[in-house]
Amino acid sequence: MAKDPLNHLYSRQAQGAQPSAIRDICALVARPEVCSLAGGWPDAQKFPTAAIRRIFDELMAEHGDLLLQYGSTEGLLDLRIVLAQRMNAEGITDVDADSLVITHGSAQGMYLAAQVFINPDDVLLVGLPTYFGGPGAGRARGAQLIGIAIDEQGIDTDHLQRETRRLKTAGRCVKGVYVIPNFQNPTGVTLSLERRRQLIELAEIHDLVIFEDDPYVDLRFEGERLPSLKSMDRSGRVIHLRSLSKIFVPGMRLGWAAGDAGAIRRMVVAKQFADAATNTPAQHILLEFIRQGLLDRQIQENIDFYRAKRDFMLEQMDRYFPAEATWNRPQGGFFIFVHLPGDMDAETLFHRAVDQNVAFVTGSPFFVDGSGRNTFRLSYSQASREDIQIAIRTIGNLI
Amino acid sequence: MAKDPLNHLYSRQAQGAQPSAIRDICALVARPEVCSLAGGWPDAQKFPTAAIRRIFDELMAEHGDLLLQYGSTEGLLDLRIVLAQRMNAEGITDVDADSLVITHGSAQGMYLAAQVFINPDDVLLVGLPTYFGGPGAGRARGAQLIGIAIDEQGIDTDHLQRETRRLKTAGRCVKGVYVIPNFQNPTGVTLSLERRRQLIELAEIHDLVIFEDDPYVDLRFEGERLPSLKSMDRSGRVIHLRSLSKIFVPGMRLGWAAGDAGAIRRMVVAKQFADAATNTPAQHILLEFIRQGLLDRQIQENIDFYRAKRDFMLEQMDRYFPAEATWNRPQGGFFIFVHLPGDMDAETLFHRAVDQNVAFVTGSPFFVDGSGRNTFRLSYSQASREDIQIAIRTIGNLI
């Protein structure tokens, strides 16, 4: 972009911003002939299309004017009440309609939270690896991103403590940590209960904000649901971010953020200028969908559907992948993360796979320090069984 | 908020952010017994409810899966093509699908543009008075706002030049100017052709970005449409922001930004992290609405509808307002701006009016320097004729 005539006018953040490499990869391989395990989108065949069509029609007949008018910035009151009640039932007891804001997806929740908490040059701790939402929102505010190791129990709290101490000693303001506690993107790993306790304790000791991004929590295939960080928080320092994209539909762009009422109020003020309000018909449709008991049914159907796909992919991997590759067995969500032997390069593998019309996402773009060159992410969410089989066999042979 | 336990953790911008006083006023007076001329929302009785209901139903029957899936961050390609063609037909010839991004309302367009162009402590010039969208987006980036006088020809370019020189001499980075060229909110004033030429020239001389926020341009009741600043721009320094809220429906949260392709690409990168993508069904519905020729019909109907309401309010003002008050005759849009004699306080008037169940918006919140205490804004957009008559008579008597 050296010849861009406006280059000298861009903000420092815009000059440093990079498009998501993961999105670029997904766009690159979005051709019908490619068997792709790259995208992390939900499978459209599971969308409750008929119910949404019926509900919209009924609502429009009843009060179309209300459905198409501006709504309040914090979101539809009745929907906030219903979502807060659902959270109460999950064990997050201190949430009500005033400590919850409806957002255009959980991405917007994180973006607004970053706006409210992060100053330029603050440090934001993120998983190594992590989904780009937290790092991207942090970078937009001029944060420095520091990676914290992730193992099979989730983010490594010992490493987090060491890094926080080191950074604070160096005079840095360590503002918070971005964590995806359940079936993390890209590793599929779930933060253990012990680690959750440690993380809350460390946040207290070091005065950190925890950005808890939890889009997959409802898609647990097996095992017991663990308490959210928000439910363990005693000082209002957890901002809990949720998405409807994986359990309802992504195109409506619905999510919510819950936290300390003062912090949420500030996120609402930020949203006034960010986009004024969330899409009104989408909120009314969701509210009615929940009221009719359809969301809980949809969640159960999605669990069964994606569990079967996960099982199928794991079977294929057992069959076709060599012993040198290792991977996890996620208890929910959309992703399996593969480690190749240390000297193998996943990007070379990627290009060879694409030559054979098979795609996945290399791991490196998920590591803010550029490491992870021997890793890649597989998603079973959107691919057909046939595509999964072809892709896994091809990748296995290439390894 | 002194007792907020998280206060020390908030960003500088969040600590300084104030909710929009105008929104607070509108919320305060949103009671059914109040005859309100406060809100700037469109009238819901003009929404094309039946057409939207039919189109959504047809689209869902045909490809519901596509409608409910994620879309690309820049927005639906076919919609960008159609909107670019419409702009070409308006005389903005250098716009195509790659120099246009669909946004969640023009508010988001301004927010993303501020993210891309504004560094903390940059100066953003804004009208005295102005709608809060530009100032709010600027403040979110840590900009300093400097007010530029507005007269019956729009923003005062002489004043703008003097202030820019003064600020630059003082070592400040004057990054840009936020301007609403047509039927400005709150003054109803339209920037004259001569002033448009001067503004473009000054932007060249002083290397300014022009944020051209143009939500009302299509609602011109009379007189000739003036060329947009974007159409007069020769160096890519105009970011042109448009909204569907006043000519289609506001609840869908649709708008777009057009500008230099490099700048738009950076806004798309910012949007990846701000909210990933714009609501998919809303974009498909709008595209179909345009394709069926309904948008042009809707615009014409809205023009006729709001012109009649403007005429009615002006008649009532002629009848009931004393000679000491002065106001403009807007050629389009939603607003009439009233000046009281210099020693009168519009806030006192406001409280007396509310006591009689009549409401409007005081002018002062629209002035970033806190001036304008003898002004107020009246909107004819949402009120019924009956409410307009009662409110104008009451306000006239109180003055």
What's the pLDDT score for residue A2?
A: 47
The beta-carbon neighbor of B17 closest among A14, A111, A269 is A269
What was the ipTM of the complex prediction? 0.96
Q: Does B280 touch chain A (CB under 8 A)?
A: yes
For residues A352 and A210, membership in a common domain is answered with: no
Count of structural domains, chain B: 2
Q: Which of B270, B293, B316 is the last residue of a domain?
A: B293
C-alpha–C-alpha distance, residues A246 and B276, integer Å: 14
What's the pLDDT score for residue B2?
A: 46
What's the pLDDT score for residue B1?
A: 42
Range of B113's domain?
Answer: 67-293
CATH number at residue A301: 3.90.1150.10
pLDDT digits (tens, 9 = 90+) for B9-36: 999 999 888 877 777 777 777 788 889 9
Residue A161, helix vs strand vs coil:
helix
Q: Is residue B1 part of a domain?
A: no
pLDDT digits (tens, 9 = 90+) for A19-67: 777 777 777 777 888 889 998 899 999 999 999 999 999 999 999 999 9
C-alpha–C-alpha distance, residues A166 and A143, integer Å: 17
Q: Which of A243, A272, A293 is the last residue of a domain?
A: A293
Closest chain A residue to B116, measured at CA: A14
Predicted model pTM: 0.96
- Given strand B255-258, what is the order of strands in its sheet? B100-103, B255-258, B238-243, B209-213, B174-179, B123-128, B144-151, B154-155
Cβ contacts of B236 on chain A, cutoff 8 Å = 5-6
Q: Is residue A340 part of a domain?
A: yes
Weakly modelled stretches of chain A, pLDDT under 70: 1-3
What's the pLDDT score for residue A18?
A: 80
C-alpha–C-alpha distance, residues A351 and A238, integer Å: 41
Q: Tell me the β-bridge partners of B117.
A: none
For residues B226 and B284, membership in a common domain is answered with: yes
Main-chain dihedrals φ then ψ at residue B210, nearest 5 degrees? -105, 120
Closest chain A residue to B42, measured at CA: A69
For residues A336 and A279, membership in a common domain is answered with: no
Q: Is residue B160 part of a domain?
A: yes
Q: Is residue A228 part of a domain?
A: yes
For residues B183 and B231, membership in a common domain is answered with: yes
Q: Is residue A60 part of a domain?
A: yes
Weakly modelled stretches of chain B, pLDDT under 50: 1-2
Structure letter (DSSP) for residue B184:
-
C-alpha–C-alpha distance, residues B338 and B374, integer Å: 8
The strand pair at A358-359 and A361-362 is best described as unpaired
The beta-carbon neighbor of B253 closest among A18, A44, A277 is A277
For residues A145 and A248, membership in a common domain is answered with: yes
What's the pLDDT score for residue A17?
A: 81
What's the pLDDT score for residue A26?
A: 73
For residues B250 and B279, membership in a common domain is answered with: yes
CATH number at residue A223: 3.40.640.10
CB–CB of A263 and B6 under 8 A? Answer: yes
The strand pair at A174-179 and B238-243 is best described as unpaired
For residues B13 and B144, membership in a common domain is answered with: no
For residues A217 and A82, membership in a common domain is answered with: yes
What's the pLDDT score for residue B113?
A: 98
For residues B30 and B121, membership in a common domain is answered with: no
Q: Is residue B211 part of a domain?
A: yes
For residues A154 and A254, membership in a common domain is answered with: yes
Q: Which of B257, B275, B293 is the last residue of a domain?
A: B293
Cβ contacts of B107 on chain A, cutoff 8 Å = 273-276
Distances (CA, A) of B219 to A36, A233, B72, B304: 47, 51, 30, 9
> Nearest 5°: CA angle at B113, between B112 and B115?
60
For residues B166 and B189, membership in a common domain is answered with: yes
Decide if A98 contacts A261 (C-beta within 8 A): yes
What's the pLDDT score for residue A232?
A: 97
What's the pLDDT score for residue B31?
A: 80
CB–CB of B272 and A136 under 8 A? Answer: yes
For residues A41 and A126, membership in a common domain is answered with: no
Q: Is residue B271 part of a domain?
A: yes
The beta-carbon neighbor of A140 closest among B4, B237, B273 is B273
Distances (CA, A) of A55 to A18, A289, A292, B32: 40, 7, 10, 28
Q: Is residue B58 part of a domain?
A: no
CB–CB of A281 and B115 under 8 A? Answer: no
